[in-house]
Amino acid sequence: MRNILLALLFCGSVCAQDKVIVHINAEFNGSNDWYGIESLAGVKLYSGIIEKNPAIKEKYNITKVPTLLLFVDGKELSRWEAGLDMKLSATVREVQQTIDSK
């Protein structure tokens, strides 16, 4: 996974590239990175750590980690957030179906 937190601040340059999935987590929660990120097809994949660039937390209203964001043509269309256990329960199939339908 590639770290693109700075590029996310300028989402027009990153997210305007068709479909983009962004995986955001925190250093303290690294053991709960979403397992399926590398299995997704038809999207550009990016990841980032909120402690390394706190402006991301504010700009995208990140309140739970990990969080997956789906951008299509620069607009956020879907979001998956962790539960109280700080794990993302979305399945690869669920996320992929959302990607394919957009």
Per-residue pLDDT reduced to its tens digit, 52-86: 988 888 889 999 999 999 999 989 999 999 999 99
Query: Does 15 have pLDDT greater than 90?
Result: no
Q: Quickly list DSSP for 11-47.
A: HHHHHTSSEEEEEEE-GGGGGG--TTGGG--SSEEEE
Q: Give the length of the chain.
A: 102
In angstroms, the CA 90 to CA 8 distance is 22
pLDDT of residue 6: 43
Query: Does 10 have pLDDT greater than 80?
Result: no
* Cβ neighbours of residue 61 closer than 8 Å, sequence gap 6 or more: none
Closest C-alpha among 70, 56, 62 to residue 20: 70
What is the maximum span of the chain, computed from C-alpha positions, in angstroms?
33
- pTM for the full model? 0.83
